[in-house]
Structure 1
Amino acid sequence: MVPDGWNILKIEEFAEVKTGGTPSRQIPSYWNGSIPWMASGEIHQRYIKNTAEFITAEGLNNSNTRWLPEKTVMIALNGQGKTRGSVGILQTSVTCNQSLAGFIVNHQVCHPEYLFFYLDDKYQFLRDLSGDEGRNGLNLKLLREIEVSLPPLSEQKKIAEILSSVDEAITATQAVIDQTRKVKQGLIQQLLTRGIGHMKFKESAIGNIPADWDVKTAQDICLLISVGIVVKPSQYYVKSGIPCFRSANVQEGYIKDEDWVYISEESNKILSKSQLKAGDVLIVRSGYPGTSCVVTEKFDKSNCIDIIFARPNTDLMLPEYLSCFINSSLGKNQVLQAQGGLAQQHFNVGALNSMKINVPPIKEQEKIIEIFSKYQEQILQSEIEVNTLQKIKQGLMQDLLTGRVRVGVTS
């Protein structure tokens, strides 16, 4: 059922659906021209303004790719991770590869931005369309038959304006986060190598450092370095109880307090070797290896699954400083070296044991942490704002795209 004045149309009734192609990479004259050529991964820009690669007129004329005009709504037919089913909208004319399709709408029937948000809201439905766990990908026939609920054109435009304004706010806030991260990373690099107010420096195993600093291995500064539950952890899961950290809960410098798994208090006692204490430093082993945060008082006596945890000797190193170092390029580079540069491999306890770490005096560690924390707090507050905006947008989409709440309509 749709509200009065709305229609349900198949996409083929109001849009052309076109895909592209890839000029032969064996012919150099087809590439590095002036014609933008979009790859499927670029769908994640959402508002596509530019492409990484360009083709020539010769490449265009000798392949299945074709021009798609500005305001074409794009969809990924297949691709890695979350790509398949993702949508975007062109802010400029481009050509594209065969893993993308474009909806060129009849503007008298459908507003392009409305269709973009409508399909964006149907992400899981689009992924499920291909069946067989997505191995076959989407195809043009499936896309043409998708039914779309279309309000009057004036209402479509108003809905698109409202949702676009929220998207703009999310994009602006994300830009602040990205810039703050860059500033923080550069400053931390400076603080972890030059310290605060030093004039004399010396060579060390990991470069120039202040003359009164030491370089020690993690093994030298930690009372314990171990790993969480690795053998069939799911056998211990219960609906509620003691929270267990997984990689997804460990973010760079903070705990993501959601999507927990739990074990019983009895299991937590049995698995005491991986039981955590406030002040322990957690380090992700795979996926995003080397990502680190500190266990807070709230999670004292919690447990962890397939995560490295380190318990620093606080007479030598503060937990927050150790986590900060591991998250920095100085730590991450050693993580990659330990894996032979292959991020899909596990970062293991032995590799952390041998990690070389700059060790300032405790007082200076405290000052470095204080500076770091200010930037981290700015980032966290901005991320909370982004999450709030995304929830607002989700609620608006559910209301506006179903007609539950009407806009731009006079009674």
Structure 2
Amino acid sequence: MLTDTKVALEGYKITEIGEIPINWSVKQINDIAGVKTGGTPSKAKPEYWQEGTIPWMTSGEINLKRIYDVKERISELGFKNSNTTWLPVQTIMMAMNGQGKTRGTVAILHTETTCNQSLAGILPSEKYNSEYLFYYLESRYNDLRGITGEGRSGLNLGIIKSFKVVLPSLAEQQRIADILSTVDEQIENINQLIDKTKELKKGLMQKLLTKGIEHTEFKKTIIGEIPANWEIKTFREVTKVNQGLQIPIASRYLENPGHRYFYITIQALKSSEDVYYIENPTSSVVCTKDDILMTRTGNTGIVVTGVEGVFHNNFFKISYNKSLFDKNFLYIYLCSEKVQQRIKILAGSTTIPDLNHSDFYSIPVIIPNIEEQRKIAEIISSVDEQIKSYQQEKEKYIELKKGLMQQLLTGKLRVTV
């Protein structure tokens, strides 16, 4: 509701969604675009899916942002016997439902496709720029989600059609979209560098953890061929693991005056909003930055080091002989593809995978001499540093984009056309 107390700056006006340039307008999506949803052919009819050639998008693909192809296909028969419809290039896709943060997320089509009923396709008329509308709706993600609250309720076509958007002239829309897409291109270029460097790391780990550095003699073992002077043992022979502690909510603190311990959980490592502290723990559940932790249930096999505190019972602490293992080498070995695959198999494929002590102890571990371990760790760590550098550069561009969206899509920063 508007009030008389707000006075617009010169050249601007007050609208129901904020202050915008005086020559910009506010319209409902329904006034500037067609809005459609799709449908799902019956899964009970194999002929609706077998040998399908018609692309069919689901809400799980919305996070790709720019859709150049989709995974699934339906047949002509499936298309005719469902409510789905063709959507052209430059359609803006919006997730009406979906897991986690999917609802309200938008993407833009660079290919024709059909879709399921969890997605809405927004087709602006020729008077409006699709790329601009894509970026505008991306900037309003939280507002879109806020319409239905944080519950399970999804968006619907009525909500989307009545959602209000800010519209500069077509020329300004194009210019704003060009600026933001240039930043997106930089982010995508960095993503490609990160992906290539991760592939390099994967190949280096495979080579270094099987061939080592400058070896000429090899031997066959239960895990394949390795350098002749390497040892191979099981984790039972060279490590000891102990499980963390489940701390009741009532015994957790939000502040640390200095004598409390950080409570190490996966949530706390991901988000500062989930940080708790513990008092007077037993020494067996305290770890230092030199220790290695690994998750045993749920997302089994996540390896963590460089943190200190009291660890949750979802973690193992892996104690090892420091004269036998370099910490960084052991961390890299635990993260390696072969070990991670073994962990996943041993943990099982139940709803909540669980790796017990004896299963972990059964996993073989290679033991090069300590100097070679350090050299291997240094090589892999240098690649990790490069990945970290790329990720930091990417974050700068993401923040730049956020700032530009806030300024450009509200008219606070005007473009020349």
Q: TM-score, normalised by structure 2?
A: 0.87
Aligned to 2:28: 10
Q: Is the 8 A contact 2:194 2:387 kept in 1?
A: yes
1:213-362 counterparts in 2 under 5 A? 213-222=230-239, 224-232=240-248, 235-240=251-256, 241=258, 242-248=261-267, 261-263=275-277, 267=279, 269-295=280-306, 299=307, 301-305=308-312, 306-342=314-350, 344-362=352-370
Match of 2:162 among 142, 145, 158: 145
For residues 258 and 349 of structure 1, what CA distance do their matches in structure 2 show? 30
Q: Deviations over 1:216-266 (max 9, x none)?
A: 2324323x422333232563222345434322566xxxxx795562426xx
Q: Which structure 2 residue ranges, 5 or more long, are not aligned?
A: 1-13
Match of 1:197 among 214, 230, 254: 214
2:177 matched to 1:177?
Answer: no
Match of 2:118 among 80, 96, 99: 99
Q: Is the 8 A contact 1:219 1:225 kept in 2?
A: no
Relative distance call for 1:138 and 1:286 in structure 2 (3 A) is: farther
For residues 402 and 307 of structure 1, what CA distance do their matches in structure 2 show? 47
For residues 74 and 257 of structure 1, what CA distance do their matches in structure 2 show? 29
1:27-46 counterparts in 2 under 5 A? 27-31=45-49, 32-46=51-65
Match of 2:402 among 370, 384, 394: 394
Q: 1:350, CA displacement in angstroms?
A: 4.3
Q: How many residues of Structure 1 are paired with residues of Structure 2 in the alignment?
A: 394
Q: Aligned AA for 1:211?
A: A
For residues 205 and 169 of structure 1, what CA distance do their matches in structure 2 show? 46
Q: Is the 8 A contact 1:37 1:96 kept in 2?
A: yes
Q: Aligned AA for 2:84?
A: T
Q: What is the root-mean-square deviation in Å for CA atoms of aligned residues? A: 2.3
Q: Is the 8 A contact 1:72 1:105 kept in 2?
A: yes
Q: Aligned AA for 2:248?
A: K
Q: 1:33, CA displacement in angstroms?
A: 3.5
SS at match of 2:201: helix
Q: Aligned AA for 1:331?
A: V
Q: 1:34, CA displacement in angstroms?
A: 3.0
1:64-75 counterparts in 2 under 5 A? 64-75=83-94
Q: Deviations over 1:355-401 (max 9, x none)?
A: 32111111111111111112111111111111111111111112222
Q: 1:129, CA displacement in angstroms?
A: 2.3
Q: Deviations over 1:301-328 (max 9, x none)?
A: 5333343222321111111111101111
Q: Is the 8 A contact 1:40 1:76 kept in 2?
A: yes
Q: 1:404, CA displacement in angstroms?
A: 2.0
Q: Deviations over 1:187-233 (max 9, x none)?
A: 202211222222333333323222222222324323x4223332325
Q: Aligned AA for 1:319?
A: K
SS at match of 2:233: strand
For residues 23 and 278 of structure 1, what CA distance do their matches in structure 2 show? 53
Q: TM-score, normalised by structure 1?
A: 0.88
Q: Is the 8 A contact 1:30 1:57 kept in 2?
A: yes
**Deviation larger for 52-61 or 65-74:** 52-61
Relative distance call for 1:172 and 1:312 in structure 2 (3 A) is: same
Q: Is the 8 A contact 2:63 2:107 kept in 1?
A: yes
For residues 188 and 342 of structure 1, what CA distance do their matches in structure 2 show? 29
SS at match of 1:273: helix
Q: 1:23, CA displacement in angstroms?
A: 2.2
Q: Aligned AA for 1:377?
A: E
Aligned to 1:119: 137
Q: Aligned AA for 1:263?
A: Y
Aligned to 2:414: 406
Relative distance call for 1:15 and 1:166 in structure 2 (3 A) is: same
Relative distance call for 1:177 and 1:196 in structure 2 (3 A) is: same
Q: Is the 8 A contact 2:56 2:72 kept in 1?
A: yes
Relative distance call for 1:234 and 1:114 in structure 2 (3 A) is: farther
SS at match of 1:36: strand
Identical residues among aligned pairs (%): 40
For residues 397 and 229 of structure 1, what CA distance do their matches in structure 2 show? 45
